[in-house]
Amino acid sequence: MSRYNDLLGSAKQTNAPLYATMQAVKTAFIKRFKFDVFPLVTDDDYKGAVRNDRNIDGTKYPYQYWKVSSIEMSKEYGNVKLLRRHGSAYAGGTSNTSYSMGYFFKATLDCQLKYSTNNIQDALSLIERYLIMVGTESLNVKVNLPIGKGIPFVTRIYAESLSATFPEAVLEDENSPGTFSVELPFRVDGKIGTHKDVAKLNNEGEITYRMELDDDDQHTDED
């Protein structure tokens, strides 16, 4: 098996909130920017990751990928100790004696969009779209985790500073002469955590509960 895999293509725990957060980022950029591939790269052979996703041998311009540089848990999101003990998201009953509860916490990911092209117009077009999309938060994604009857949350994609460096080609680069490389930072507010089945307080006889879901929160995984 090739080692040049998109991290999100090989993750197994697809209902984990961190995985869902990162998958939402990939979905948003592919949809809004019309990217053919957008691998999350975790090593230095980014060209190999792109070639593997495209299922081709050579390098074709333009190409793009993204990286995560850091993940930080926010303690401003309510009482984190209370959330750890009692949970933060009710996902409905899984049986007559238990229900599924999510223990989720807000987390911020610092990321970079990497883009390479041999056409200056492509580079400028990407920068223009990036500034508009990120500046207007048009990349935000509604996610519905497949846990119990579903746990919804919103992945927010934004930037602290709406600026971009004007692209400049490096003509003396022997590996890719005349290539314009664009690096655009962005931040993601998502979730980290886990879930488990919790025993109901009254587990004798038939148990009923009331739950209301907004229509907008049902079976939605893209904005």
Q: Do 107 and 18 contact (CB within 8 A), yes or no?
A: yes
| Between 68 and 2, residue with greater pLDDT | 68
Partnered with residue 73 across adjacent β-strands are 107
Domains of the chain with CATH codes? 7-200 (3.30.2000.30)
Q: Do 46 and 65 contact (CB within 8 A), yes or no?
A: yes
Quick: pLDDT tens for 172-215. Answer: 666 666 899 999 999 999 998 876 665 555 444 444 444 443 45
Quick: pLDDT tens for 106-134. Answer: 899 999 999 999 999 999 999 999 999 99
Integer CA distances (angstroms), 59 to 63, 153, 212, in order = 8, 37, 50
Q: Do 73 and 191 contact (CB within 8 A), yes or no?
A: no
Listed residue (69, 35, 67, 68) closest to 53, CA to CA: 35
pTM metric for this prediction: 0.76
d(CA 192, CA 190): 7
Quick: pLDDT tens for 5-33. Answer: 677 765 555 668 899 999 999 999 999 99
Tracing tokens 């074709």 back to the chain, one arrives at: 60
Quick: pLDDT tens for 56-96. Answer: 988 899 999 999 999 998 876 556 565 555 455 555 555 55
DSSP 140-172: -EEEEE-STT-EEEEEEEE-SS---PPP-EETT
| CB neighbours of residue 36 within 10 Å | 12
Q: Angle 120-135/17-33 helices, nearest 10 degrees? A: 130
